[in-house]
Chain A
């Protein structure tokens, strides 16, 4: 039947993405994980295979959801902006938003929700402060297109691009503790942790933040 198609959508075995491997390092074995914007389920699969997590996913695109469920992952068709409100506080050990926050309508609300639903939140995003992005804008005067930002401005789902500095500011604004922040260069190598935020912001192409939400009085949600 159409099993091969599903396989194709779901992705044949291939080398895991570097940011996924980092997330897999951050996540404790056997924990409960919600992956918001889980795509074809690659990260969930990785976390389940390597860390034995109890994983759930949320994905907007119907075909990707179908593929995830057909391969046995617990994924719902839904929207980070609309469908996170229903989850109870601290329902998961980790709420992950992998390369998705820039495509949400209300990044701040989404981040607050992640910090509420998960004991920790892991957020990765393409860094708009990367030197190539800056030079592209400076010299060509046009929106940059690269591996992380592959679409023309009029086609991209990205609505709220930010830099590493911007994101760090947002974390402060929502009183999130940054437990770990790692940036990758264009070759997928981790930038030295000792580098200053400005250096990370200049040379990091993607960043992954491990966050812990503000201590809250037992909130009545």
Chain B
């Protein structure tokens, strides 16, 4: 790779073995049990890779499904097999944590379309023996949920005690609550929205165009070409990463500080710390994420509009619900701002649902849901404890 643009990413492994043989458990659904997709195609066979934590009780009533965000995966509270980093929600999920694995059986699966062991564009199409690439069908958030439902069936669980997720995970939570009203006792959609805004579609389009503009993307068939559109994907990640933070958080963290120098060098090197930080975010991302998965999953988010699917009235999506909801937003989240959570709450109120809504004061932007925010943690813990009492799972003290 040459030319005027700086080479952001040095080298990257080809298709990662985690795509075909994940480190986590994986369940295969064969051709006789296809996944019916929103685009009217069937996906078969397909695999769903998942992790579990804690133990399922005899009544199978203590299961919590955690739905991950755009670029996360099933490793919610265990070491990531590629990066070696702790689970992406390690501070929230674990023994004694707000989502307490001493009490609850926690399940987290890689979404369909992903690249960590669930079937996605990097997976081998059995019909051709080559990776799907762009022949993979366009999937939706609803499809992700249908695939998860198959996993939950496979695990023999009728009703989930809770479905919890932030960002895209929150959209899956809403879909779960809408599609499977009897299978979701409690739902916690966090930092999310019932429909993807024009601004968010716009940011995603920038990211996709960055990937597609990289010659190494090779029309989506880079697997065969033996290349990786690493620069394009890194730029996509850099642009997206800005939307996960806030102006205030960026300023606090970096200001106009220079990186490894005391004065401006009048060049286009990463002179500012914030540049260096973003380049790092971009380059580490390409090591663990498939570029086509990024295209497919961002597309799924763009298509997400529960209001539209509910005939223009969001409340219709939740009519008849008995689920207990806890909607959470963060004051500085401009990707999924508080008003979009409030819209969900208003729809739930319109059907007299049991809903709590907490707007957490934070200057950390959208990413706040992944960070140590004590009031947020206390909210999740308190809500789950109360729901567990209602579900007959006892109090945390009684359990220990």
Contact = CB atoms under 8 A, between A and B. Distances in A.
A66 B345 contact: no
A62 B349 contact: no
Contact of A70 (B324, B327, B349, B382): B382
A71 interface: yes
Contacts of A78: 342, 345, 357
B350 interface: yes
B318 to A, nearest CB: 12
A140 interface: no
A204 B378 CA distance: 40
A76 B354 CA distance: 10
Contacts of A6: 378, 382
Contacts of B370: none
Nearest to A55: B354
Nearest to A90: B352
Nearest to A72: B386
B356 interface: yes
Contact of A69 (B342, B349, B361, B382): B382
B354 A66 contact: no
B257 interface: no
Interface stretch (A19-27, A80-88, A104-112): A80-88
B349 A75 contact: no
Contacts of A68: 356
Contacts of B327: 76
A76 B359 CA distance: 9
Contacts of B342: 78
B359 A87 contact: no
Contacts of A1: 374, 377-378
Interface string B60-104: 000000000000000000000000000000000000000000000
A3 B356 contact: no
B350 A76 contact: no
For the residues of B in contact with A, the DSSP-based class is helix
Nearest to B384: A72
Contacts of B345: 76, 78
Interface string B269-285: 00000000000000000
Contacts, number: 78
B320 to A, nearest CB: 13
B349 A86 contact: yes
Nearest to A10: B382
Interface in A41-100: 54, 56, 62, 65-66, 68-78, 83, 86-88, 91-92
A191 to B, nearest CB: 36
A196 interface: no
Contacts of B354: 54, 56, 74
A69 B358 contact: yes
Contacts of A156: none
Given A69-B326, A72-B389, A77 B378 contact: no
Interface in B350-400: 350-352, 354-361, 374-375, 377-379, 381-383, 385-386, 389
A146 interface: no
A175 B59 CA distance: 52
A54 B374 CA distance: 28
Contact of A74 (B324, B379, B389): B324
Nearest to B345: A76
Nearest to B354: A74
B359 A62 contact: yes
A1 B377 CA distance: 10
A2 interface: yes
A88 B356 contact: no
Contacts of B360: 62, 66
B382 A71 contact: yes
Interface string B232-246: 000000000000000
A70 to B, nearest CB: 3
Contact of A77 (B358, B374, B385, B389): B358
A167 to B, nearest CB: 26
A66 B360 CA distance: 8
B346 interface: yes
A92 B361 CA distance: 30
Given A69-B356, A76-B356, A77-B357, A86 B377 contact: no
Contacts of B385: 72
Given A70-B379, A70-B381, A72-B385, A87 B350 contact: yes
Given A72-B383, A77-B359, A78-B345, A91 B352 contact: yes
Contacts of B389: 72
A88 to B, nearest CB: 6
Nearest to A92: B352
Given A54-B354, A70-B375, A72-B385, 11 more contacts: A66-B360, A66-B378, A69-B383, A72-B386, A74-B355, A74-B356, A76-B327, A76-B355, A78-B357, A87-B352, A88-B352
14 contacts: A6-B378, A6-B382, A56-B354, A65-B359, A69-B383, A70-B375, A71-B386, A74-B356, A76-B356, A77-B357, A78-B345, A86-B347, A88-B350, A91-B352
Interface of A: 1-3, 6, 54, 56, 62, 65-66, 68-78, 83, 86-88, 91-92
Q: Considering the complex of A and B, which 4 residue pairs feature the smallest CB-CB distances, nearest first?
A: A72-B386, A70-B382, A76-B357, A91-B352
Interface of B: 324, 326-327, 342, 345-347, 349-352, 354-361, 374-375, 377-379, 381-383, 385-386, 389
